[in-house]
Amino acid sequence: MAKVLSLHETQATDRGMDRNPGLPFTPEYFTCLRINRSAVERRAASLPARRSVKKAYQVAWLLKAISCMDLTTLAGDDTPGRVRRLCAKAQRPVRVDLLEALDVRSLDLTTGAVCVYHNMIPIAVEALAGTNIPVAAVSTGFPAGQISEPLKLAQIEASVQAGATEIDIVINRARVLTGDWAGLYEDVKAYREACGEAHLKAILATGELGTLTNVARASWVCMQAGSDFIKTSTGKESVNATLPVSLVMVRAIRDFHRLTGYRVGYKPAGGISKAAEALAYLVLMKEELGNRWLNPQLFRFGASSLLGDIERQLEHYITGSYSAAHRHPTS
């Protein structure tokens, strides 16, 4: 067996923002991993209290959270009108009067992307024309992923052709649960090739992987296969993004960067609806990966209702009072 490279002792040349090209399938890098759940949970529980972000500093962090948000609608009753309203909100995520009161209108704040189902891609592309806001599309039989591989590849190619520049794929959970790491690698590698220039975000559906060790190993396999981002959840599982799972995934990203010099992005998704939760994830990214990851090229929230609560917190900072949630609609 090849000598296992010590990830904690290796510092590769930093590749800046070069896209992750992946690695040959190398199980020695991840089969040795064993995650101590209790230690992870203790560390994760400490994160919300480690940095007390108040007043103007909190405002700055919340504005950062907005810029890193994939504003999402993935409902069975989505309509072209809803998607257009979502795209309008992505371009102007905070009311103008609040931006003026905060003296930040010059920031030209937008969300990081808009995420939709395949059939809504043309609507979103048209609505966002002339902006720098990318359109992301879910693919590969989202959310369950229980369709054939040829159909998954065809879905990716069709979404890219329709104008999506980011593709959120779901992995085959059975590959993880049966230990078929080589099969998972080949799947994700093929998805990456089908994406072409579009960026690939690999959804692990961590709530269905059983153990944190499986989460760590699946993260490594997806990064080896060339994923540009790794993402926690579809938002449709019974358990979605959590801080313990996120800690495991961002440490895998950290070690992958130390090994290769390439930065892989991270996207927690599902269940993040409160501004305080967003702050905890930003603290996690800052402490574990550093300021270089605190931008929409490397960090995204998958969220729909989060933006409304952040806007309420901004209004509270200005006025001292909380407004009703219906005053801050997402779409």
d(CA 299, CA 142): 21
Using 50, 70 and 90 to split pLDDT, how confident is the model at 164?
very high
The per-residue b/e assignment along 118-128, b for 16 or more CB within 10 angstroms, e otherwise, is bebbbbbbebb
3-state secondary structure the chain: CCCCCCHHHCCCCCCCCCCCCCCCCCHHHCCCCCCCHHHHHHHHHHHHHHCCCCHHHHHHHHHHHHHCEEEECCCCCCCHHHHHHHHHHHHCCCCHHHHHHHCCHHHCCCCCEEEECHHHHHHHHHHCCCCCCCEEEECCCCCCCCCCHHHHHHHHHHHHHHCCCEEEEECCHHHHHCCCHHHHHHHHHHHHHHHCCCEEEEECCHHHCCCHHHHHHHHHHHHHCCCCEEECCCCCCCCCCCHHHHHHHHHHHHHHHHHHCCCCEEECECCCCCHHHHHHHHHHHHHHCCHHHCCCCCECEEECCHHHHHHHHHHHHHHCCCCCHHHCCCC
Rounded mean pLDDT of 119-135?
A: 98
Would the pLDDT of 9 be above 90?
no
pLDDT digits (tens, 9 = 90+) for 217-259: 999 999 999 999 999 999 999 999 999 999 999 999 999 999 9
Rounded mean pLDDT of 259-265?
A: 97
| pLDDT computed for residue 328 by the predictor | 67
Would the pLDDT of 16 be above 80?
no
Would the pLDDT of 324 be above 90?
no
pLDDT digits (tens, 9 = 90+) for 31-87: 999 999 999 999 999 988 777 788 999 999 999 999 999 999 999 999 999 999 999
| pLDDT computed for residue 5 by the predictor | 47
pLDDT, mean over the chain: 93
Instruction: Give the number of other CB atoms < 10 A from CB of residue 182.
Output: 12
CATH number of 39-45+54-320: 3.20.20.70
Pick the catalytic residue from 70, 168, 228, 309: 168
Using 50, 70 and 90 to split pLDDT, how confident is the model at 185?
very high
Pick the catalytic residue from 89, 189, 267, 309: 267
Q: Which residues pair with 266 in a beta bridge?
A: 230, 299
Rounded mean pLDDT of 182-207?
A: 98
User: Could you give the angle at which helices 306-319 and 55-67 cross, rounded to 10 degrees?
Assistant: 150
Would the pLDDT of 163 be above 90?
yes
Pick the catalytic residue from 64, 231, 255, 309: 231
| pLDDT computed for residue 225 by the predictor | 98
| pLDDT computed for residue 13 by the predictor | 79
Instruction: Spell out the domain ranges in the chain.
Output: 39-45+54-320
| pLDDT computed for residue 8 by the predictor | 45
Tell me if residue 236 is catalytic. no
| pLDDT computed for residue 321 by the predictor | 83
Comparing CA positions, the residue from 297, 288, 308 lying closest to residue 40 is: 288
Would the pLDDT of 268 be above 80?
yes
At residue 251's C-alpha, the angle toward residues 246 and 253, to 5°, is 95
| pLDDT computed for residue 330 by the predictor | 66
Rounded mean pLDDT of 142-154?
A: 97
Tell me if residue 168 is catalytic. yes
pLDDT digits (tens, 9 = 90+) for 284-304: 999 999 999 999 999 999 988
Using 50, 70 and 90 to split pLDDT, how confident is the model at 182?
very high
Q: Judge contact between 198 and 166, C-beta under 8 A.
A: yes
d(CA 83, CA 31): 42
Tell me if residue 274 is catalytic. no
Using 50, 70 and 90 to split pLDDT, how confident is the model at 11?
low
| pLDDT computed for residue 50 by the predictor | 73
Comparing CA positions, the residue from 143, 217, 228, 144 lying closest to residue 191 is: 228
